[in-house]
Chain A
Amino acid sequence: MTTINRRRFLAGTAAALGLAAAGCASPVTATPGRLTLWYWTGGLATTVLTDAAARFAAAGLEPVNVGFDNLRGRLLATLSGGAYIPDMTMLSDDIARYFGDADQFVDLNTLGAARFEGEYLPWKWKAGTTPDGRLMGFPIDTGPAALYYRADLFAKAGLPSEPDDVAAAVHTWEDFFAFGKELQKTQPGAVIATDSNEIFQYALAQGPKKYLDVDGRYIGDQDHVRRAWDLGVRVARLGLSGAFVNSTDRQAAWNSGVQPAFISPTYTSNDVKKAAPSTAGNWRVCRSPGGPSNAGGSFIAITRYCPDPQSAFDAVSWILSPANQARHYLDAGLFPSALDALTDPAVRVPDSFFGGQTVVDVFAESARGVPQTAFSYMDIGIRTYFQTEIKNVEQAGKDPDQAWNDAQTLIYRLLKQSGVER
C-alpha cells in the first residue's frame, strides 16, 4: 500500500484539477457515439425498449430512465448548458411549454414523419405540432376520459346501470347533475365529482378552445372558460362534489361507496384497482357527460444535437408503431394513440374489475372524439390561477364572481409580465 505523502497528495490534486479543466470540454450529447433516449418509469413499456435496443443496436440506441420528476430539470440544464444533451427524450403533456424553443428539437416532418400521420389520432398528432407546423413530438400515449361509475350502487338506487343506458341518461352536464341528485335521494351524501376542479377541467377539455388562441392571444376570459367554471361551481353548490383534499380521502370514498361516480382518464383505472380491490366487478365506464376529452399523454422528441436524427427517428417510429402501441398498453397500461392499436383484438379484452366490460372500447370512442385544441406554453401557468380560485370557492366559500375576477386579474398580471397580448 502506498502511503500518501505531501508530494503525492499535491500531484494527485493537480491531476484532479487537470481533469476538472478537461471536463470543460464536455461532450454535447449524453453518450457520444450512441443514441440516448430519456424516459421515465412507466412512460414506455420496458419490453418494447428492450426489443428496440436489440433491434437498433447498430445505431447505438440506449434507453436511459431518468425519472419523471427529474426529466424536465435535466433537460433544461443540459440544453441551456449545451452538454450531455439526450439525443431523444420523452416529453409529457406539457410539450407546449417547449414550443417557444422549437429550434432546439428536430422537426420530425423533415425526417419523413408525414407518412405516419394517418396512422395516429389527428388531435394527438396536432398536439405535438408547434403553431408554425413543426412536428416536435411523436405520439406515445393518450389519456381519454370517461365516466367511471358503480353499477351496483346505481342499480340499488333504481337508476340505469348498464353503460349505454347510463351514457344516455347523463348525456349533458345538466343531465348528469340531475342524475346525481336522484342518486342522493336513496344514497344521501353520495358524490359524483371529486371536486369543482374535476368538472372545470373536463368541461373545458371537451371544447376546442383553451386559454390562448392560435395567434397567442389570451381568450381565458371568454365564454367557453366561464361556462366550464360555472359548471365547476355548480357541482359544488349542488352538494355533488366530494371536495376531497387528497387521494387518501378520495380512495376511502371509492371503498365506502361515497363516490360512486367520477370523470377520469383511462389510467385512473389502475388507481381504482389498487385502492379499492374489494369493489372489483362493480365498476363500469361510459361516455363522459358533455362528450369526449383528454387529459395527459406523452411524446418523444429528437433534440437538434442528435448527430444521426434519421436513425433516431427510425427507432422512435418503430418503438411507437401501431403494433408496439398495443404492447405499451398491455405491458405498461399506456393507452394507444395509434388508430390500429385501438381496435387490436389483443387490446380489446374484457376487464373483470369492470364486470367483464371491454373498457378499451369506451375509452377508444372517447379518444376518437377528442377535439383538436390549440395548446400553448402559458397553459400551465394560467390554469394554476383558475384551479386555486375555484378551490377557494368550493372550500373557503369565496364568492364565485369575486374568485373569477381575482383569477383574471392575476392572469392579466402574469400575461403582462410575459408579454402576451390580450
Chain B
Amino acid sequence: MTDVLPRVDAPAESPATKTSRPWFSFLPQYLAISPFYILFAVFGIYPIFFAAYLALQRWDGIGPMEWAGLENFTFLLTDGEFWDAIINTLVIWVMSTVPMIVLALLVALGLNSAIRFKGVYRLAYFTPNVTSIVAMAIVFGSVFSEEFGIVNALLTAIGLDPVGWLSDPWGIKVTISAMIIWRWVGYNAIIFLAGLQAISPEVIEAAKIDGANAWQTFTKVTLPLLRPVLLFSVLMSAIGGMQVFVEPQILVGVSGGVENAGRTMVLYFYERAFQQNDFGYGAAIAWGIVIVVLLFALINWRLVQRPQRDGAAR
C-alpha cells in the first residue's frame, strides 16, 4: 500500500518543523478525520465509561440512580447464574466452531476442485450468512420442534427415537450450535477458498513429485499453509461466539429454556438489564463479559504468536 503513495522524506522535515508548527495549524486535517472520532466517542467511548459508572449504581432505567459501590460486582462474583452463562457460552462456542471449521474446509476443498457452476455454489453457501437471524431462528424452531418438526420426523423414519431438541438441556445447545454452524459454514468456506487459491500450485506439484499421496499433501502441505486463515476463522468465530444472543432468545426464550441451557452471557445481561430492570447489575455483567472476552483474546493471541511460522504461509 505505502509504495503507491509518493514517498516523502520524513526525517528531513521532522524535528524543526514539527515544533515550530502549533497544533491548530493542522486543524483542517483534524477536522477532516473528525467524523469518525466524534461518532466513536459518542457511540463507543462514552457508553463504555458510562457502563463503568452505571455498574456502581442501582438504576431502574428511569428514576434517579442510587449509589451501590462495588455491591453489583461482589454479587456478580457469587452469582451462579452468571458462571453458568459463561460455561454455556463456551460450550456452545466449541460445539459450533469445531464442526463449522471442518465443514467449511470440506466445502472449500470441494469448491476449489474443478467443478461446474462454482459461482452458483459460492453464492448458495454464502446466502445463510446474509439471511435475517430472527427469521432463521423461527424456521429452525419449526424444523427442530419436537412433535411435528422435520428433524424428529426423519429420526423416527429411520427407526430412531425423537430427540427433545428444545426441551432437553443438551438438545437446546445442539440446536443453537446447528444454527450457528448453518449460518457460518458458507462464510468461512469462502475465506478458506481464498486461502486455498493463494497456495501456489507449484508447492502442491512439488509434493506430488516427491511421492506424497493426496492425504499427505493435504495434512503436510495444504493445512500448514492454511494456518493463518484457520486462525483468522477461529478468532472471528470466537468474537461471534462470545456474543451469541438472538438464536437462543428466539428458540428458547430470554431465560434460555430448560435448566437455562441456552442462556449465554449476553442473554443473561439482557435479561437482568431489560427484563428485570436492573441496569446497574446489567452493566456489571457487561464488564464481566469484557473480562471473559479479554481472557479469551489473550489465549487466542498466545496461540497466534506461537513461533512456528511456516515461511511461505503469508
Contacts and interface: CB of A to CB of B under 8 A. Distances in A.
Interface of A: 6, 9-10, 13-14, 17, 20, 72-73, 76, 79-80, 97-98, 100-101, 103-104, 243-246, 248-249, 252-253, 258, 377, 380-381, 384, 387-388, 391-392, 395-396, 398, 410, 413-414, 417-419
Given A381-B277, A396-B259, 11 more contacts: A13-B32, A13-B34, A17-B34, A101-B60, A246-B142, A248-B141, A252-B148, A387-B255, A413-B79, A417-B75, A418-B278
B148 A249 contact: yes
A396 B262 CA distance: 14
20 contacts: A6-B28, A10-B32, A13-B31, A20-B38, A103-B63, A245-B146, A245-B166, A246-B145, A246-B166, A248-B148, A249-B146, A249-B148, A258-B147, A380-B275, A381-B278, A384-B275, A388-B255, A391-B258, A396-B258, A418-B278
Contacts, number: 102
Interface in B5-58: 28, 31-32, 34-35, 38, 58
Interface in B143-187: 145-149, 164-169
Contacts of B254: 384
B259 A381 contact: no
Contact of A98 (B34, B38, B62, B71): B62
A336 B194 CA distance: 62
B38 to A, nearest CB: 8
Interface residues of B, number: 43
A417 B147 contact: no
Interface of B: 28, 31-32, 34-35, 38, 58, 60-63, 71, 75, 79, 81, 141-142, 145-149, 164-169, 251-252, 254-255, 257-260, 271, 274-278, 281
Nearest to A256: B148
A245 B149 CA distance: 11
Q: Which among B142, B257, B276 has the highest number of chain A CB atoms within 10 Å?
A: B276
A381 B276 contact: yes
A375 to B, nearest CB: 14
Contacts of A252: 145, 147-148
Nearest to B166: A245
B279 to A, nearest CB: 9
A98 B79 CA distance: 26
A101 B63 CA distance: 6
Contacts of A417: 71, 75, 278, 281
Contacts of A413: 79
Contacts of A13: 31-32, 34-35
Contacts of B147: 244, 249, 252-253, 258
Nearest to A378: B276
Contacts of A72: 274
B169 A97 contact: no
Contacts of A387: 255
Contact of A395 (B35, B148, B164, B274): B164
Contacts of A14: 31
A243 B167 contact: yes
A80 B63 CA distance: 7
A76 B61 contact: yes
A380 B272 CA distance: 11
A246 B62 contact: no
A15 to B, nearest CB: 12
B106 to A, nearest CB: 31
A305 to B, nearest CB: 12
B64 to A, nearest CB: 9
A253 B146 CA distance: 12
Contact of B62 (A76, A395, A418): A76
Contact of B276 (A388, A396, A414): A414
A396 B169 contact: yes
Contacts of A258: 147
A365 B311 CA distance: 81
A98 B60 CA distance: 9
Contact of A392 (B63, B149, B258, B278): B258
